[in-house]
């Protein structure tokens, strides 16, 4: 036994002597003092010796264990310092779960933020509307041909689903007196079956500014500032004469195509411009209807399509993406 111990001692000291790195030292430690190490094994085998040999063997082995431990510690100090356990840094990290806002919410927020910075407050209105607020009060009485442009969802109780966010104009002007500078984001509905550019449900941001001397020029400047904020400094805005019963003069708002910078591409149908909103000066009939004198106060209004803007912003070519709610779509755009 003594021999065995002595041989092991020599082997162990040599082993430690030859070590070149912390890893090797650790391996040497385990091979000697680990659970299955050689010294540990000998210590465990003491029980099998005849009882009279046990004290000596125990003494020698403990001495050896101590000596080896000391040598290892000594050696460790001479080796370059490295972390005890090396980790595999290539294993993917523990990622916290994150969700995402729907792209329409994000665009709507951006739009709202821009107009709030321009001094507009935010108002909200009901989605189930009366014929009066959706049409009549907006200078579109029954039998007005412009009603044909709105394929309306009706409820059995005689109300309807608003076809635009413009009724909020009326509701706000009924409650509050000018000066008024508001926007109103919200959902609207039209009886248009789903196709790449139509959805029965869509979102708009309505704008209204009524004051002593708000002009068509202010309308143009405000929308231009908005376009530049949302799509970048080079963006241009073009107002094209159009017709809406509740504004006059009325215009369609065309934005220089953010994809081709007016050179012409598929998105803008090779015109260099894309339509994003309708706008105009609030029609005197609308102002009179809410008790505002149209020669004392003037104002402008606009309504822009949130989906349309989101599609231009993210390069989406099919409006249905917004309503299928494929989580990969929402995740991909966050």
Partner 1 sequence: MKLPVEWLEEWVELPQDFVDVLDNLGIGVEGYGDGVLDLEITPNRPDLLSVIGIAREIAGKTGKPLKKNIEAVFPVRNVFPVEVEDKEGCPRYTLGLIKGVKVGPSPEWMARRLELAGINPINNVVDATNYVMLELGQPLHPFDREKIKGKIVVRRARDGEKITTLDGVERELNPEILVIADAERPVALAGIMGAEDSGIDEETRDVLLESAYFDPIRVRRGRKILNISTEASYRFERGGDVYVVPVALRRALELIREVAGGEVVEGMEDTLPEPEGRKPVKISVSFGKRLLGIEIKDEDVKDWLEPFGFRVEDGKVIPPRWRRDIHEEVDVWEEVARIYGYERVPSSVRVISSEPVYDNGKILRQAKRVLSGLGLFEVYPIPFMNPEDVAFLPEEDERRKGRRLKNPMWPEKNVMRTTLIPGLLSVARYNLNHQIRDIRIFEAGKVFLSEERIKIAGLFVGEEKKTWYSGRKYDFYDVKGAVEEFLTLMRIPFELRDEKDPLFDEGTCLGVWVNERCYGYLGEIKRELVERYEIEHAYGFELDASLLELREPEEFVPLPRFPHIKRDLSFLVPAGKRCEDVLRVIREATYLERVEVIDIYRGKNIPEGYTSMTFSCVFRHPERTLTDDEVEHEVQEIIRKLEDEGIELRRL
Q: Which of residues 100-119 bind partner 1 (CB under 8 A)?
A: 100-102, 104-105, 109, 112, 116-119
Which of 91, 233, 291, 315 contacts partner 1 by CB under 8 A? 91
Closest separation in Å from C-beta 129 to partner 1: 10
- Residues 19 and 28: their CA atoms lie apart, in Å, by 8
- Please, which residue, 243 or 259, has the CB nearer to Zn ion? 259
- 50: tokens are 């005849």
Convert residues 206-235 into a mask of x (bound to partner 1 by CB under 8 A) and - (unbound).
Answer: -------x-xxxx-xxx-xx----------
The answer to whether the CB of 300 falls within 8 A of the CB of 250 is no
Q: What is the DSSP letter of 21?
A: S
Question: x/- string (CB under 5 A) for Zn ion, residues 255-284?
Answer: --x-xx----x-xx----------------
- Residue 299-318 contact track with partner 1, rule CB under 8 A, x = bound: --------------------
- The DSSP line for 34-45 is STT-HHHHHHHH
Q: What are the structure tokens assigned to 231, written together?
A: 């799509």
The residues pairing with 161 across neighbouring beta strands, listed in sequence order, are 128
Q: How far is the CB of 111 from partner 1 (least distance, A)?
A: 12
Residue from 313, 232, 319, 227 nearest 277 by CA: 227
| Angle (nearest 5°) at CA 278 between 276 and 283 | 165
171 belongs to the binding site for partner 1 (CB under 8 A): no
- Residue carrying the six token digits 């109300």: 159
Residue 112 beta carbon to partner 1: minimum distance, rounded to whole angstroms: 7
Residue 173 three-state SS: helix
Q: Which is nearer to partner 1, 47 or 93 (CB)?
A: 93
- The residue from 83, 84, 94, 233 that contacts partner 1 (CB under 8 A) is 94
DSSP state of 198: B
Q: Could you tell which of partner 1, Zn ion, none binds residue 325, using a CB distance below 5 to 8 A set by kind? A: partner 1
Taking the complex as a whole, the smallest distance from the CB of residue 331 to partner 1 amounts, in Å, to: 7
Residue 10: which of 32, 26, 25, 30 has the closest Cα? 32
Q: Which is nearer to partner 1, 52 or 213 (CB)?
A: 213
User: How many Cβ atoms sit within 10 Å of the Cβ of residue 122?
Assistant: 12
Length of the chain: 334
**Footprint of partner 1 on residues 134-163 (CB under 8 A)?**
143-146, 148-149, 153-157, 159
58 lies in the site for partner 1, by CB under 8 A: no
Query: Would you call the peptide bond into 179 cis, given omega within 30 degrees of 0 as the criterion?
Result: yes
Binding residues for Zn ion, rule CB under 5 A, total: 6
Binding site for Zn ion (CB under 5 A): 257, 259-260, 265, 267-268
């Amino acid at each position: 036994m003594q021999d065995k111990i002595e041989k092991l001692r020599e082997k162990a000291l040599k082993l430690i002597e030859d070590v070149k790195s912390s890893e090797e030292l650790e391996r040497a430690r385990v091979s000697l003092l680990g659970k299955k190490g050689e010294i540990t094994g000998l210590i465990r085998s003491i029980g099998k010796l005849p009882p009279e040999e046990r004290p000596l063997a125990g003494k020698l082995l403990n001495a050896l264990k101590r000596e080896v431990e000391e040598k290892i510690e000594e050696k460790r100090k001479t080796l370059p310092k490295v972390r005890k356990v090396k980790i595999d840094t290539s294993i993917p990290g523990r990622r916290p779960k994150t969700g995402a806002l729907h792209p329409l919410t994000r665009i709507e927020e951006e739009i709202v933020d821009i107009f709030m910075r321009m001094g507009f407050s935010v108002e909200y209105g009901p989605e189930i509307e009366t014929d009066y607020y959706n049409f009549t009060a907006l200078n579109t009485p029954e039998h007005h041909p412009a009603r044909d442009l709105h394929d309306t969802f009706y409820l059995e109780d005689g109300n309807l689903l608003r076809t635009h966010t413009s009724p909020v104009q009326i509701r706000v002007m009924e409650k509050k007196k000018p000066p008024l500078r508001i926007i109103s984001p919200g959902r609207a509905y039209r009886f248009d079956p789903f196709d790449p550019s139509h959805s029965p449900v869509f979102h708009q941001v309505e704008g209204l500014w009524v004051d002593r001397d708000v002009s068509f020029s202010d309308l143009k400047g405000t929308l231009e500032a908005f376009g530049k904020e949302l799509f970048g400094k080079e963006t241009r805005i073009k107002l094209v004469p159009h017709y809406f019963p509740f504004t006059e003069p009325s215009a369609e708002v065309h934005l220089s195509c953010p994809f081709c910078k007016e050179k012409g591409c598929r998105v803008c149908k090779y015109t260099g411009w894309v339509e994003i909103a309708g706008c105009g000066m609030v029609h005197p009939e609308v102002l009179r209807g809410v008790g505002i004198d149209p020669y004392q106060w003037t104002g402008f209004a606009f309504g822009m399509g949130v989906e349309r803007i989101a599609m231009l912003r993210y390069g989406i070519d099919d409006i249905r993406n917004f309503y299928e709610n494929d989580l990969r779509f929402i995740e991909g755009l966050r």
